Amino acid sequence: MQLPEINRRAFIKGAGATVAMVAASRFLVACAGDSTPRGYGGEPRPLPIPPLAEGEREGNRVIYRLTAQEGQSNILPDVTTRTWGFNGDHLGPTLTARKGDEVTVEITNGLGEMTTIHWHGMKLPGIADGGPHSPIEPGETWSPSWTVSNTAATLWYHPHPHGLTGLHAYRGLAGAFVIEDEVSDSLDIPKDYGVDDIPVVLMDHRFHEDGSLDEEDLPDLGLLGDTPTVNGITGAHFDATTRRVRFRLLDGSNMRFFNLAFSDDRPFQVIAGDSGFFAEPLERSSLIIGPGERWEILVDLEPGEDVTLRSVAFPGNFGVPEDEYTPDFGFADSFDLLTITGPAEEAPSTPAIPGVFDPAARQDPDVIDAPERTFVLNTFSINDQMMDMQRVDVVIDHDGPEIWEVTNDNSDWPHNFHIHNARFKVVSMTGTDIEVPVDGWKDTVGLPPGATARLAVEFGYHPDPAWPYMYHCHMLYHEDQGMMGQFVIVEPGGQPADQLGGGSHAHAHHVG
Ligand SMILES: [Cu+2]
């Protein structure tokens, strides 16, 4: 039997006594026989597959309906936990659309409090982006529309209310948003959703003894969990029916980085990053993913074999000092995520993995003479400022790429920098010895302490002076504490509007 809980190596570290004590008490509880929290072990359960929402389609116009609602689910076996979900008890359906589709999503807030829904990785007008300026009050429906211009990729959606993004995502408001196009159509790779094309939503949680979610922010660590989950449960098991499986990996956690590897260190092919396919597949045996990021991988399975997707200790602790003064972000943890059994002997053999995926992904943005901006991240601030909903930090008044140079100025904290309405190539990563995977088009990049990433950023061009986009750390405790800024995209020579956003009643309407 595989225990899903995290095997923590040591609990004498942490920024303050509180962290150490909380961690120590969890460790003791988990090891204390009769008082072991219910459901931390248990038999493996089938990996839940989020339902596929294809929407109501007429030609290339497609409408999805989502309701954010309260529910109850069994994150732990035989334990009921109050959770939030879209159109269900926990998490949300996988939306799927094609490049060129005119998408409308009608989102009804069935919760008792305001939230917003953001389309992470999507290029779209600011008014549809779902950031903190687009509140949906309880009982209201918000209906953004846009034309999908992204290429095939695994994007996702989650709340973005200022100061509450972490809590709302932690309770379960998250889902994948899969984009397909002519390139993905043409590739001979697994694409049968739920059969050999599998979303893998990684999160982590903490629980009270009664099974409810522990929603207390730990000092420095926010809602870092001690119990990993895949698609909403612990101890998930996947019975493969094919010899090759495509996993769409999404780190939907608040604060946890995972260093993914298989239990036998088998190699696998990484075929796509946050914002789409690589030009060529990349063979690896481990892969770092941080909050907000996605990778797609192909893994080959022999009939009947057992293998486990794990998270293992990070080389060099991701550059974070291992001393008693530094918070324990979990980089030394190792734990099982998903047990997998290979297919039956009769499963057909697999074709060769394509040598080329998206040749266009070789092309980098032309950044000769592109404007350059610098962003220095330190604790909860960017360029010495914390988020202000009324302040525009960056004005982009052209349709073209920019160089954003982003530095993690903390010596002992990681950050994970994300830009809305954009994709970027990481031109260079300096100031760190840590090897961070930065291949392909991305929208979120991990920054070990001291690291500087030069990003060649390509934005969606939908000039609108009143509707800002966010850039922020995707470690959600950092974001919620203020590590976020706003940019607007305007016509050449344009200025941001005096009044940002439209207020809840301008763009959401009451139903019923
Ligand atoms: Cu951060």
- Distances in Å between the Cα of 92 and the Cα atoms of 171, 232, 322, 338, 507 are 12, 10, 37, 20, 23
Note whether residue 98 is domain-resident: yes
Q: Which of 341, 370, 401 is the last residue of a domain?
A: 341
Q: Which amino acid is at 100?
A: G
Note whether residue 221 is domain-resident: yes
Contacts of residue 443, defined as CB under 8 A and 6 or more positions apart, other chains included, come to 120, 121, 274, 275, 292, 418, 419, 422, 423, 424
What φ, ψ does residue 412 adopt, rounded to 5°? -140, 10
CB-CB contact of 86 with 171 (8 Å): no
If asked whether residues 182 and 196 sit together in one domain, one would say no
If asked whether residues 419 and 388 sit together in one domain, one would say yes
CB-CB contact of 291 with 476 (8 Å): yes
What φ, ψ does residue 510 adopt, rounded to 5°? -80, 145
Residue 326, pLDDT > 70, answer: yes
- Look-up: residue for tokens 């997998």? 340
* Span from the CA of 484 to the centroid of ligand 1 (angstroms): 9
- Distances in Å between the Cα of 199 and the Cα atoms of 50, 163, 194, 245 are 8, 28, 8, 11
Q: Which of 186, 202, 232 is the last residue of a domain?
A: 186
* Span from the CA of 6 to the centroid of ligand 1 (angstroms): 22
Question: 325: exposed, middle or buried (C-beta count within 10 Å: 0-12, 13-18, 19+)?
Answer: exposed
Q: How far apart are CA 426 and CA 259, in angstroms?
A: 20
Residue 6: pLDDT band (50, 70, 90) is low
Residue 304, pLDDT > 50, answer: yes
If asked whether residues 55 and 68 sit together in one domain, one would say yes
If asked whether residues 131 and 242 sit together in one domain, one would say no
Task: Work out the average pLDDT over 319-346.
Answer: 97
Q: How far apart are CA 429 and CA 424, in angstroms?
A: 13
Residue 504, pLDDT > 90, answer: no
Domain count, the chain: 3
* Span from the CA of 479 to the centroid of ligand 1 (angstroms): 7
Task: Work out the average pLDDT over 106-115.
Answer: 98
Residue of 307, 338, 85 whose CA lies nearest to 230: 338
CB-CB contact of 179 with 119 (8 Å): no
If asked whether residues 302 and 372 sit together in one domain, one would say no
* Span from the CA of 410 to the centroid of ligand 1 (angstroms): 9
Please tell me the predicted confidence (pLDDT) of residue 200: 98
* Span from the CA of 425 to the centroid of ligand 1 (angstroms): 20
Question: 187: exposed, middle or buried (C-beta count within 10 Å: 0-12, 13-18, 19+)?
Answer: middle
Note whether residue 346 is domain-resident: no
CB-CB contact of 134 with 116 (8 Å): yes
Rounded to 5°, angle at Cα 228 from 445 and 169:
60
Q: What sign for the dihedral angle of Cα 131, 135, 141, 143?
A: negative
The string of pLDDT tens digits covering residues 425-462 is: 999 999 999 999 999 999 999 999 999 999 999 999 99
Please tell me the predicted confidence (pLDDT) of residue 7: 52
Note whether residue 347 is domain-resident: no
CB-CB contact of 464 with 501 (8 Å): no
Q: Which domain holds residue 77?
A: 46-186
If asked whether residues 171 and 204 sit together in one domain, one would say no
Locate the DSSP E strands across 318-473: 335-341, 372-378, 381-382, 394-396, 402-408, 415-419, 422-430, 444-447, 452-459, 469-473
Residue 467, pLDDT > 50, answer: yes
Backbone torsion region of residue 60, taken as left when φ is above 0, otherwise alpha when ψ lies between -120 and 50, otherwise beta? alpha
Note whether residue 382 is domain-resident: yes
If asked whether residues 304 and 206 sit together in one domain, one would say yes
Note whether residue 10 is domain-resident: no
The string of pLDDT tens digits covering residues 263-285 is: 999 999 999 999 999 999 999 99
User: Does an H or E element contain 64, and which?
Assistant: strand 61-73
CB-CB contact of 394 with 422 (8 Å): no
Please tell me the predicted confidence (pLDDT) of residue 502: 80
* Span from the CA of 421 to the centroid of ligand 1 (angstroms): 19
CB-CB contact of 245 with 49 (8 Å): no
* Span from the CA of 227 to the centroid of ligand 1 (angstroms): 21
CB-CB contact of 472 with 484 (8 Å): yes
* Span from the CA of 8 to the centroid of ligand 1 (angstroms): 22
Length of the chain, in residues: 512
Q: What percent of the chain has pLDDT over 70?
A: 90
For residue 149, what is the domain's CATH number? 2.60.40.420
* Span from the CA of 98 to the centroid of ligand 1 (angstroms): 32
**Residues that place a CB less than 5 A from ion ligand 1:** 415, 473, 475, 478
* Span from the CA of 414 to the centroid of ligand 1 (angstroms): 6
If asked whether residues 168 and 196 sit together in one domain, one would say no
